[in-house]
């Protein structure tokens, strides 16, 4: 059996190099296609970024790779539509590609469930308005947020320039003792290289946007049970085989 190809629709450019880094660790075939719009962390712009036409274009760019699964690699561009709207995005992607589809927002939900996590802290790079919408999305999916912080960064491009030291500082300053996991929801943030360090420092799972996006794609890609790629270098989430329950 050939290694499944997993396609990701990534908005603009910021931290897409997390994908080849993860692919090398996992021995996985991860393909990234880009769609474009303003990278402003604001509701109207994000509704446009995640619109059906733009997602259809991204899906069409991935079709030549013959993906086994496709994931919309944008947290804010999915949860901004609410849980029902995010499901419609996924349905549209599956219709265009003919394969299983999901998004980063559902990746967070499914990853938390796979780890048995029901109570979380959210460490967001976004302004408050967007961070609150993510909290609402999680609540709709049965995940309780005990604390939420927002760094108030206005653009994805700026988030993409955050150094590993800055990412560590944000994570360590914004955990909560009652949270079973810390969630960091922005695919524009480089997090793959710091995951084990963050988990060791906090003593709990840390779920980050690019990490859960990749995990969600692998979960859906049709690997034979027991053959899914794992790597402790990508945190506790990737230390065990993914479960295959749908969102």
CB atoms within 10 A of CB 22: 25
Tell me, yes or no, if the two domains 5-107+210-238 and 115-208 fold the same way.
yes
CATH of domain 5-107+210-238: 3.40.50.12500
Residue range 113-167, pLDDT digits in tens: 999 999 999 999 988 999 999 999 999 999 999 999 988 887 878 888 899 999 9
55-96 pLDDT per residue, tens: 999 999 999 999 999 999 999 999 999 999 999 999 999 999
Domain ranges of the chain: 5-107+210-238, 115-208
Residue 183 has pLDDT above 80, yes or no: yes
Query: Residue 68 has which token pair?
Result: 């086994």
So what's the pLDDT on residue 76?
93
Alpha-carbon distance of 74 to 210, in angstroms, equals 9
Q: What is the pTM of this model?
A: 0.94
- Banded model confidence at residue 2, pLDDT cuts 50, 70, 90: confident
Tokens of 67: 């993906």
Q: Per CATH, is 115-208 categorized as 3.40.50.12500?
A: yes
Question: Which residue from 9, 212, 33 is spatially nearest to 94, judged by alpha carbons?
Answer: 9
């Amino acid at each position: 059996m050939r290694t499944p190809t997993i396609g990701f629709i990534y908005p603009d450019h910021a931290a897409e190099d997390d994908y080849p880094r993860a692919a090398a660790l996992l021995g996985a075939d991860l393909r990234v296609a880009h769609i474009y719009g303003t990278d402003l962390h604001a509701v109207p712009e994000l509704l446009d970024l995640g619109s059906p036409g733009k997602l259809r274009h991204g899906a069409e760019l991935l079709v030549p790779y013959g993906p086994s699964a496709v994931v919309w690699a944008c947290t804010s561009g999915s949860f901004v539509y609410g849980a029902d709207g995010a499901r419609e995005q996924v349905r549209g992607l599956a219709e265009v590609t003919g394969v299983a589809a999901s998004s980063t927002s559902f990746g967070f939900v499914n990853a938390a469930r796979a780890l048995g996590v029901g109570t979380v802290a959210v460490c967001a790079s976004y302004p408050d308005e967007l961070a609150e919408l993510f909290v609402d999305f999680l609540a709709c999916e049965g995940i309780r947020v005990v604390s939420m912080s927002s760094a108030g960064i206005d653009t994805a491009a700026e988030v993409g320039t955050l150094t590993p030291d800055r990412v560590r500082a944000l994570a360590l300053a914004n955990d909560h003792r009652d949270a079973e996991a810390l969630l960091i929801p922005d695919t524009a943030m480089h997090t793959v290289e710091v995951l084990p360090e963050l988990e060791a420092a906090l003593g709990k799972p840390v779920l980050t946007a690019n990490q859960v996006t990749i995990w969600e794609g692998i979960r859906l890609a049709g690997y034979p049970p027991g053959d899914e790629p794992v790597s402790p270098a990508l945190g506790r989430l990737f230390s065990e085989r993914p479960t295959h329950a749908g969102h």
